[in-house]
Amino acid sequence: MSKLKVLSFAVSADGFGAGADQSLENPVGVNGTDLMSWFHPTRTFNKHVLGSDSGETGPDDDIARMGFENIGAWILGRNMFGPIRGPWPDDSWKGWWGDNPPYHVPVFVLTNYSRDSFEMEGGTTFHFVTGGIEEALDQAKHAAAGKDVRLGGGVATIRAYLAAGLVDEMHLAFVPALLGHGEALFSGLDLKALGYDMTRSQTTPNAMHLFIGKR
């Protein structure tokens, strides 16, 4: 059965899943790239994002690689797709990732403004969903055809799916960095009351990996 999973989502030691003031120059907000310090050196990052066979192996890479296994579709919030706010001015913005995004499966972007789907190199097709989180999940599960759906973020999108109890499994990589301000992942959420528990943890020199699932 298809599951909705948050995988390889990085959180700062002070609880922020993104920095403040996202922009074209700062896709993850100010100082947000510090969150990816555990992921960027891995062979998985190099393979899926840079198209290279270089990079480090080991526990962080093993965990990162799990984030791409058995994934049939992704869901992204509008901010994860780009810095544009409000109505789409045109169709020129195709995402942060160039002509060949790292997804290679259908991607469903939550937005309040309709836009036609389009296909990129490597098998990634972006679809834009205006009907809310449950409609996006229904469409993603249908497209995934039995495989899992990965919820890529951002913070507000993950919080919405957690609050609705729709996330089945979650892997968070807590990194030894302080952002000071930004988007707090768990503010106002009671994960225990929502039916979530820790399932396991693993600490590496670069991150504390926490695995959370539904009871």
CATH label of the domain that carries residue 64: 3.40.430.10
Domain assignment present for 92: no
Q: How many CB atoms lie within 10 A of CB 110?
A: 22
pLDDT at 211: 98
Domain assignment present for 182: yes
The two three-digit tokens of residue 95, written as one number? 């995402």
Q: What is the DSSP string of 145-161?
A: TTSEEEEEE-HHHHHHH
Q: How many CB atoms lie within 10 A of CB 76?
A: 23
The residue range of the domain holding 180 is 4-85+99-214
Domain assignment present for 60: yes
pLDDT at 91: 92
Domain assignment present for 196: yes
Show the CA angle centred on residue 30, arms to residues 27 and 33, nearest 5°. 60
Domain assignment present for 135: yes
pLDDT at 54: 94
Domain assignment present for 90: no
Domain assignment present for 91: no
pLDDT at 11: 97
CA distance 124 to 190: 35
pLDDT at 27: 87
Report how many domains make up the chain.
1
Do 10 and 35 touch, CB atoms closer than 8 A?
A: yes
pLDDT at 170: 98
Domain assignment present for 113: yes
Give the chain's residues under pLDDT 50.
Answer: none
pLDDT at 1: 85
